[in-house]
Homo-oligomer: A and B are copies of this chain.
Amino acid sequence: MPEHQKIRNIVIIGAGNLATHLALALHRKGVNVIQVLNRTRHAGERLARRVGAGYTDDFRAADLGADLFLLAVSDSSIEEVAKNLQLKAQLLVHTSGSVDLSVLKNASLNIGVFYPLQTFSKEKRINFSNIPVCIEANTKENEEKLVQLARLLSNKVQILSSSQRKVLHMTAVFAGNFSSFMYTIAEDLLKKHDIPFSLLKPLIQQTAATAKNEDVFSRQTGPAVREDTKIIDEHLEMLSKHGVYMEIYDLISKSIIKHKNRNDQL
């Protein structure tokens, strides 16, 4: 890609967790964050200071000379905020896993998506190098520009369509949010019986480590995959005072058995 087409100057819209982590990471990689645009002054000014950018809360004051407008706002605000920018051909991207590229189509001639797949908490500095960044754009040239930018941050840059990105986002709910809730259920039940949650921590780490391979199900253990109905029934009995947990135990166990028998037939 010719030097003059590289993305050098960025306007960040938003000052939440994702906006902050992206702005800081790009700034560290030598990309100029020239402006932070955010409705709430305090958070916007704070982020602007950290990356040496200007700050504005006024869409009409957006610096239209930037190479990229990076929208890191809530899913439901993307379309409206994009319109308010009143761009013509400046490259405009959103950062959402679940929003279609097409919501930007009336906001600029050059549009894309820059979606880092990770959960960002406020606290600690994020190392993006291992975090997948999923790219989509309305032209090959825009795609290439965004891929180059993403590669500054991450070793795992992936081009995905809007529909693929939505599937990925949905599966991240299972692999991330729901597995985390399984830990919560365990912690909750242990607390009720005065048993330290720390006893489960090595198991949790080891289980996550098995997902470093493909075909996770081949490493599935426990009463369900053994179809050990005696233990399953004992566990359901123990959970009888915890209605929802019992339902979850029952449904997932049945689903594991079904999955196993389906695989056995293949």
Contacts and interface: CB of A to CB of B under 8 A. Distances in A.
A118 B206 CA distance: 8
A43 interface: no
Nearest to A255: B244
How many identical chains are in the complex? 2
Interface residues of A, number: 89
B238 A166 contact: yes
Contact of A168 (B199, B217, B258): B199
A214 B255 CA distance: 29
Contacts of A134: 199
B204 A76 contact: no
Contact of A193 (B119, B164, B178, B179): B164
A2 interface: no
Closest 6 CB pairs of A and B: A177-B222, A208-B208, A179-B179, A171-B186, A175-B186, A184-B217
Interface of A: 75-76, 98, 117-119, 121, 130-132, 134, 156, 158, 160, 163-164, 166-168, 170-187, 189-190, 193-212, 214-217, 219-225, 228, 230-231, 234-235, 238-239, 244-245, 247-249, 251-252, 254-256, 258-259
Given A168-B195, A187-B217, 9 more contacts: A117-B202, A118-B202, A164-B195, A171-B186, A171-B200, A177-B225, A181-B217, A244-B251, A248-B255
